[in-house]
Amino acid sequence: MIPQSTDPILRAFLWLAVTILSFYVLYIGQDLIIPFVLAVFIWYLINVLSFAIMKLKIRGKGLPASLRYLASVMIIAAALGFLFNFINENVGEVIEVAPTYQQKILPIIDRINAILPVELPSVDEFVNQFNFGSIVRGLAGALTGIAGMAGIITIYVLFLFLEQRSFGPKIKGMMKGSIEENDVFKIIKQIDKDVRTYIGIKTLTSAATGGLSYGIMAAVNLDFAAFWGMLIFCLNFIPTIGSILATFFPSLLAIIAFENPIYIALVIGGITGVQILIGSFLEPKLMGSSLNLSPLVILLSLSLWGSLWGVPGMFLCVPITVIAMIVCSHFEQTRPIAVFLSGDGKIKQLN
């Protein structure tokens, strides 16, 4: 805890030093910290799904807690297993045909140069260095690489469930019955509400984006339409950059694969339109003011956590930023930070 009586300038330097040290620890300890954070995320998803199953009634009775948790674990494990296996199996086929597609890029560039009044500079050299297969392999490998942490993540999740019942009493014990105890539980409740809202809506909109994009690509018989649809679903969890990549790869493949400009326009226009319609209109409407994060802050958070933790950091950057804003908004000393993180400068008051 930084002393409040310290000179303001010195206190600012102390906070800066603590912040730099914290991020340094997060970076060098990522091999241990990332699996734990992912385990907390999965543990949280299991609890949310179990809570949803609790509302289901069979002859007026709900399922016992043990069955609810077992069903939740099986559903999430099956979904993650299918996702990683599907990407891993299909990426090999994409990489195998990648050199064929890459060879088709140069003639396309030559035709573009014949139309344009000015020749595109150094395009041939760029295309020769552009390895489509390596990019796809790296992108899919980053996603499936998370599956390599499955063992340690499973152990963490197991111990989180063993400790789950003691979380509340431990918090009460640390607060020792002080007036801050209620504030802590209000913060936890608000974090739970906002993160649950984000995960639910983001999953729904990403599934809609991936499904509609798959439908468009399958309609024109674009190669590996199911793979690109699944990749679009995954990439849409990464703010901004994910949507750009999700649009770029199928569009590039359509330009290479099709000679008919109508098919190219359908793919590029269709998946771009879906991204704009869902990402810019539907998703903000569903989210409303529940998160109230600044788009610039989201982009900075994406860069920061992506630099620290790679692809897992990109997926986790929004929930982490939401938690930081809620915690900072509750204390006078850190309220300006919460205002900076917010989209409109208005901080939600905890009830």
pLDDT higher than 90, residue 185: no
- At 329, list the tokens: 């908004």
Q: What number of residues does the chain have? A: 351
Strand pairing partners for 32? none
Relative orientation angle of helices 8-28 and 30-54, to the nearest 10 degrees: 90
Query: How many whole angstroms separate alpha carbon 158 and alpha carbon 36?
Result: 11
Query: How many whole angstroms separate alpha carbon 253 and alpha carbon 255?
Result: 5
Residue 305, C-beta contacts closer than 8 angstroms, at least 6 positions apart: 313, 314, 316, 317, 320
Q: What is the pLDDT at residue 309? A: 86
Q: What is the pLDDT at residue 7? A: 65
Instruction: Tell me the pLDDT band of 274, cut-offs 50, 70 and 90.
Output: very high
Q: What is the pLDDT of residues 210-258, one digit of tens each?
A: 999 999 999 999 888 888 898 888 888 888 788 888 888 888 888 888 8
Higher confidence at residue 290 or residue 62? 62
pLDDT higher than 90, residue 271: yes
- At 126, list the tokens: 């760029």
Q: What is the pLDDT of residues 120-160, one digit of tens each?
A: 555 555 555 555 556 666 666 666 666 667 788 888 888 88
Strongest mean pLDDT among 211-220, 234-243, 298-307, 329-338: 211-220
Q: What is the pLDDT at residue 88? A: 73
Query: 196: how many CB neighbours lie within 10 A of its CB?
Result: 17
- At 147, list the tokens: 């599956």
Q: What is the pLDDT at residue 162? A: 84
- At 54, list the tokens: 């609790």
pLDDT higher than 80, residue 292: no
Cβ contact 181:175 at 8 Å:
yes
Q: What is the pLDDT at residue 98? A: 67
Residue 185, C-beta contacts closer than 8 angstroms, at least 6 positions apart: 171
Q: What is the pLDDT of residues 50-100, one digit of tens each?
A: 888 887 777 777 778 888 888 888 888 888 888 777 877 777 777 677 667
pLDDT higher than 70, residue 323: yes
> Lowest-confidence range among 104-118, 119-133, 282-296, 312-326?
119-133
> Lowest-confidence range among 20-34, 55-69, 134-148, 308-322?
134-148
Three-class secondary structure assignment of 156-171: HHHHHHHHHHHHHHHH
Task: Please give the mean pLDDT across all residues of the chain.
Answer: 78
Cβ contact 102:131 at 8 Å:
yes
pTM for this prediction: 0.74
Residue 319, C-beta contacts closer than 8 angstroms, at least 6 positions apart: 41, 195, 198, 199
pLDDT higher than 90, residue 43: no
User: Which DSSP symbol is given to 7?
Assistant: -
